Structure 1
Amino acid sequence: MSGMEVASYLLAIAYVAGFLILSGMLAKEAGRSVWLFGTGREKQTLPVLLFRLAFSGAVLWPLWLAAFGNPVMSDPLAAALDGPWFDWLGLLLVAVGAGVGLLSQRSMGASWRIGAAEGEQGAIVDSGPFAISRNPVFVGQGLLFIGLFIVLPSLVQGALTLALLVAIRLQVGIEERVLSASLGQPYLAYKARVRRWLGVAGEAA
């Protein structure tokens, strides 16, 4: 692995560690468990599976590459995205994604939850990153995985990135339904004001 690839991988590991540490800190701050997967009426089995696959792969796949190389002979993605400019772009996206994800998670404070269940959500957070995105943690994670794909291009990393993006889209749909039912008009007003991914005003999507 090149220096850029190693740096990107270490940033991804730092993000995963930071995510877990922050989740523990915010659970103490909230005085309750923040883990809501497996609770509530909404089935979250598929996004949970995809999240676990994506993050486990992000940790283990680069180690496999370093130890054994790419098992896919003549991987077309590895050839198409090879070069120092791609490495720099990938590293930048990983760094920005990790920073956005952790900053957004911390900004939620006692409202931080992993998953969604009716009646278990915290108060609406609409300041900081949440003033311009309803899902800045997921935006950060998406950027991080796209960056990893660019700096470590392969069919496997592409599949891991796709799994993460599909998981995010499925989970956002679930959380929007739960938040609308649990928080009512205040959330609907926030939803109308701030876009799902990035932006304010107009039609939120």
Structure 2
Amino acid sequence: MSGMEIASYLMAVVYVVSFIILSTLLAEEAGRPVWLFGKGREKQTLPALLFRLAFAGAVLWPLWLAAFGNPVKDDPLAAALDGPWFDVLGHLLVVIGAGVALLSQRAMGSSWRIGAAEGEQGAIVDSGPFALSRNPVFVGQALLFIGLFIVLPSLVQAALTLALLIAIRLQVAIEERVLAASLGEPYLVYKSRVRRWLGVSGGTAGEAA
């Protein structure tokens, strides 16, 4: 692995460790558990599994590459995205993504949850990064994984990135239903004002964005 590849991998590991530590601290701040994948009426088994697969792979797959090499012979993605400029672009996305995700997670404070369950959600956070995106943590995670794929291109890393993106899309749909049911009109007003991924909207309450 090159120096840039190692730096990107270490940033991804730092993010995963920081995510776990910060989740623990925010759970103490909230005075309640924040892991909600196994709670509520919504089935979250698939997105939870895909999240775990993606993050475990982000930590373990580069170690496998360094130790044993790519098991996919003549991997077309490895050849197509090889080069120092790809490494620079990918590393930049990894750093930005990790920073956005962690800052957004911290901005949620005692409202931070992992998963969604009726009656378990915290108050709406609509300031800071949440004034520009309803899901800035997921946006940051997506950027991190896309960057890691660009730096370490392979069919396996592409599959891990796809797993994360699918998990995000499934989980966002679940969380929107739970938040609407739990928080009602204030959430619908927020939803009409701020877009799902990035930007503000001039829509009316109840509109999807």
Instruction: Provide TM-score, normalisation by structure 1.
Output: 0.99
Question: Which residue in 1 is equivalent to 2:48?
Answer: 48
Moved more, 166-175 or 195-204: 195-204
Find the residue that maps to 2:195 and give its secondary structure: coil
Give the percent of matched residue pairs that are identical in Structure 1 and Structure 2.
83
Question: Which residue in 2 is equivalent to 1:80?
Answer: 80
Q: Give the C-alpha shift of residue 73 in structure 1.
A: 0.4
Find the residue that maps to 1:190 and give its secondary structure: helix
Structure-1 separation of matches of 2:172 and 2:138: 9
Structure-2 separation of matches of 1:26 and 1:171: 20
Amino acid at match of 1:107: A
Structure-2 separation of matches of 1:90 and 1:4: 9
CA RMSD of aligned residues (A): 0.6
Matches within 5 A, 1:42-121: 42-121=42-121
Deviations 1:50-70 (A, max 9, x none): 001000000000000000000
Find the residue that maps to 1:138 and give its secondary structure: helix
Structure-1 separation of matches of 2:52 and 2:186: 32
Matches within 5 A, 1:1-205: 1-203=1-203, 205=209
Structure-2 separation of matches of 1:189 and 1:18: 32
Structure-1 separation of matches of 2:51 and 2:202: 31
Q: Give the C-alpha shift of residue 201 in structure 1.
A: 1.7
Q: Give the C-alpha shift of residue 95 in structure 1.
A: 0.1
Find the residue that maps to 2:178 and give its secondary structure: helix
Q: Give the C-alpha shift of residue 157 in structure 1.
A: 0.1
Q: Give the C-alpha shift of residue 202 in structure 1.
A: 3.0
Find the residue that maps to 2:59 and give its secondary structure: helix
Amino acid at match of 1:105: Q
Structure-1 separation of matches of 2:98 and 2:151: 15
Amino acid at match of 2:179: L
Structure-1 separation of matches of 2:33 and 2:46: 21
Structure-1 separation of matches of 2:118 and 2:58: 31
Structure 2 unaligned residues grouped into runs of 5+: none
Amino acid at match of 2:33: S
Structure-1 separation of matches of 2:89 and 2:202: 31
Amino acid at match of 1:27: A
> Which ranges of 4 or more aligned residues in structure 1 deviate by more than 3 Å?
none
Amino acid at match of 2:110: A
Amino acid at match of 1:73: K
Amino acid at match of 2:160: L
Deviations 1:28-54 (A, max 9, x none): 000010010110000000000100100
Instruction: Provide TM-score, normalisation by structure 2.
Output: 0.97
Structure-2 separation of matches of 1:14 and 1:138: 17
